[in-house]
Structure formats: C-alpha cells, structure tokens
Structure 1
Amino acid sequence: MKDYSKVDAAILQSIADRPSTLSGLSTQAWQEANALNASCGAMRVLDKRLQALRKKGAIHFNREWKLGAKP
C-alpha cells in the first residue's frame, strides 16, 4: 500500500492557500503525485486523493475545492 500523506498534505495546503479546481492545485501537489505513480499519471493520483479527502470530510466541492465538510 502506498503512502499518500505527502500528496494529501500538499493538496490540503494548496486548497488552504486558495480554493481551487483540479488544474489549479499547486505545483508541489502535482510533483508529489507524479513522483508516486508515473504509470497512470499525476492527474489520476490527484483525482483519487481529492475524492478520498472529500469522503473523509476534510474538503468539499462547490464550483471549487474548499477545506472542511460541506456546509
């Protein structure tokens, strides 16, 4: 099983700095995702982690990703 803690932290930091869409995530988040799994691509890794964080209640989506559970 892979450790996604660095990717998750980079995603949460990017969203905390500025709510954003998938393409608007920070370069650090993209680099961490790319380093994890180059075979399926960084976009797939980031998408999986965004959905996992959403299911945990750490973030929600309302036209852009934001921290916290859905209000």
Structure 2
Amino acid sequence: YPGSFVPRPIEVIIEKADSDVRILAKDLMDLTKLDWNSTDFCKRLPATIAVSQKVGNIIGELRGRDIEPPSAYSNYM
C-alpha cells in the first residue's frame, strides 16, 4: 500500500435491502474513493460532494431567476 496510513477494513451488516448484495458492496467501495483532499483540516464532507453541492446551489439560483443553466459541467469549474 503506497499511502501513509494502513487501510482499515470495513464491516458491512445488511439488515434489510431490496438491492443485490454485490451492488451494495460495489456502491460502498465506490464511496471509499471520494476525494477528501482539502486545505481545510476540519471538512465535514469529501471535496467531491462539497463541490457538487455548490454547483447545485448555483443551478438552483439560476433556475430561481428563470435562467436555464448551462448543461456542461465545465461551466462551473
């Protein structure tokens, strides 16, 4: 493992699910890949989610003013 910390295993206990266990496991593994890089040491959310929420706020503001927001994500970078 090339990182500076030893990875810790994740225990998953599924009490009730409509989805296949393999799909749930894949979704959980995908969530471990979120980008936590930030200059703020006490961030509550991964950078990928925080940025998505900010883009959502921009789109909501535009739609609130009856402006159709651009669909290309690069417009929000």
Select the structure of larger CA radius of gyration. 2
TM over 0.5: no
TM range (shorter): 0.3 to 0.5
Q: Comparing both chains, which one has the higher relative contact order based on Cα–Cα distances under 8 Å and sequence gaps of 6 or more?
A: 1
TM-score, structure 1 normalization: 0.33
More strand by share: 1
TM-score, structure 2 normalization: 0.31
More helix by share: 1
